[in-house]
Amino acid sequence: MVKAIRVNEFGGPEVMKSEEVDIGEPKNGEIKVKNKAIGINYLDVYMRRGLVPSLSPPLPFTPGMEAAGIVIAVGPEVTTCKVGDIVAYAGYPVSAYAEEQILPADRAVPVPPSIDPIVAAAVLFKGLTAELLVRRCFKVEPGHTVLVHAAAGGVGSLVCQWANALGATVIGTVSNKTKAVQAKEDGCHHVIIYKEENFVDRVMEITSGEGVDVVYDGIGKETFEGSAACLKFRGFLISIGGPSGSADPLSFKLVAAKSLYFTIPSVMLYTEKRKDLLAASEEVFSNVTKGVLRVRVNHKYPLSQVGQAHSDLENRKTTGSIVLIPDA
């Protein structure tokens, strides 16, 4: 029996309860991992609230989609790792908020010796997201101008650093002065505190009325229309979350007026094939090792305090990455 956080009903942070569960032993193609650190992502909040039924397991379930730990058992026909290896995973299965978990071996990636497991758990899901945003959804190159909402958040921080390293001019929006300082440190050439000034007006001022090539919108309803207004002709609007609520349907007239491109990318789909998962994770870990990406593990909570962690995340009291550490 191991301790795991269980959601028996949808709701606020208080619905997450610590329980003793029996996860069994790994079957064919599976491994058992003793978690050293567990990453928290906003998608976990959506699942806890019951807002993404197409992604969530049926009740009751153990939330969490990112962790790193040591392999303690392997099932038959596993060739990708062995007992004692340090591995990480991001995406499915939803089961990370636990001391131990069973994983499909082909979803686990090796963690290089140069990467601390806590850092791996903090960066893999967000790093894979950042990789697809700047390398595949829209390939950022020198001369591009990008707008990153929630620039001090876990994903936003990495996107800003990566886009800067690729030669882009980076504009970031944040909610307060403390986050503005971090965004500047993470590669933003221009930082906008959106509660103090109109971000659309400021972006157009910075770009001399031209607008930006791409907007990475991790806010949702509050920023969506303004994001579209900030784009150049044939610009890319990429939605990566909506903590402020679901955006209104994108106006056909607005899209047609600028010939805009719009997408909502999924890490799970972009890494569905193991070769894509390995290539992307290797690039993420390589950039962390080289110092291109600085992983801000700004908040660590014991697994038993997961409710407080979710509350702080929802109330925008956090910056960078958040991890849970199993109490044992």
Tens of pLDDT, residue by residue over 111-123, are 999 999 999 999 9
Q: pLDDT tens across 139-195, in order?
A: 999 999 999 999 998 899 999 999 999 999 999 999 999 999 999 999 999 999 998
Q: What is the pLDDT of residues 20-67, one digit of tens each?
A: 999 999 999 999 999 999 999 989 999 999 998 988 899 999 999 999
Output the pLDDT for position 319: 82
Q: What is the pLDDT of residues 285-294, one digit of tens each?
A: 999 999 999 9
pLDDT, greater one: 239 or 145: 145
Note the pLDDT tens digit of each residue in 186-225. Answer: 999 999 999 899 999 999 999 999 999 999 997 766 778 8
* % of the chain at pLDDT higher than 90: 83
3-class SS of residue 36: strand
- What pLDDT was estimated at residue 193? 96
Query: Does residue 125 register a pLDDT over 80?
Result: yes
pLDDT band at 257 (very low <50, low <70, confident <90, very high): confident
Closest Cα partner for 257 from 225, 284, 289?
Answer: 225
pLDDT at residue 245 in the model: 56
Mean pLDDT across the chain: 93
* β-bridge mates for residue 191, sequence order: 172
**pLDDT attached to residue 168:** 98
What's the confidence (pLDDT) of residue 224? 81
Structure confidence at residue 247 as a pLDDT band (50, 70, 90): low
Strand boundaries in the chain, DSSP class E: 2-7, 16-21, 30-39, 66-74, 86-90, 100-104, 109-110, 145-148, 169-174, 190-193, 212-217, 231-239, 261-263, 297-302, 321-325
Q: DSSP for 189-207, please give it.
A: SEEEETTTS-HHHHHHHHT
| Token pair belonging to 317 | 């009291």
Model pLDDT, residue 190 = 98
The pLDDT, as a whole number, for residue 160 is 97
Distance (Å, whole) CA 264 – CA 55: 15
Helices of type H across 117-172: 117-132, 154-165
Distance of CA 184 to the CA centre of its chain: 20
As a whole number of angstroms, the distance between CA 279 and CA 284 comes to: 9
Alpha carbon distances (Å) from 82 to 34, 75, 77 = 13, 10, 11
Nearest to 98 by CA among 36, 177, 24: 36
